[in-house]
Amino acid sequence: MTSKADADWHRRMAAHLFNSTWTLIEKKRRTKEERDTMIHMAHASRYHWGVVGGPKELAIGEWQISHVYAVVGRPEPSLFHAQRCLEICEAHKIGDFPL
């Protein structure tokens, strides 16, 4: 079981990584290192939400990973994570979420 302090830390990390990923997504040009960092941060954010989030956070995390892979031109992992997002949304009857 996760303590309150641990849960708070995971929430802060998940949100920070999610927002930092968006900062890189919004850049017009990215270095190879920034593209790699963007991928790693999106996965890390999803990991932390997996510890403390609910289905909505998991779906958003999978969506962001899919989006990142699409942005960097990697369609196969993008589709994989888009399908995971859809599966979570269908399983939990999630109709929409704010992005």
Output the furthest CA–CA distance in the chain (Å, rounded). Answer: 42
**What is the average pLDDT across 68-75?**
98
What integer pLDDT is reported at residue 99 of this predicted model? Answer: 57
Q: What is the pTM of this model?
A: 0.93
pLDDT score recorded for residue 27: 97
Tell me what pLDDT residue 1 has.
Answer: 58
Tokens of 71: 């942005």
Residue (of 72, 90, 70, 94) closest to 81 by Cα position: 70
Q: What pLDDT does 96 receive?
A: 78
- Distance, in Å, from the CA atom of 87 to the CA atom of 33, rounded to the nearest integer, reads 31
Q: Is the pLDDT of residue 98 over 80?
A: no
Q: Which bin fits 14, alpha (ψ -120 to 50), beta or left (φ > 0)?
A: alpha
Is the distance from CB of 41 to CB of 20 less than 8 angstroms? Answer: yes
pLDDT range class, residue 2, cuts 50, 70, 90: confident
Phi/psi for 26 (5° steps) reads -75, -15
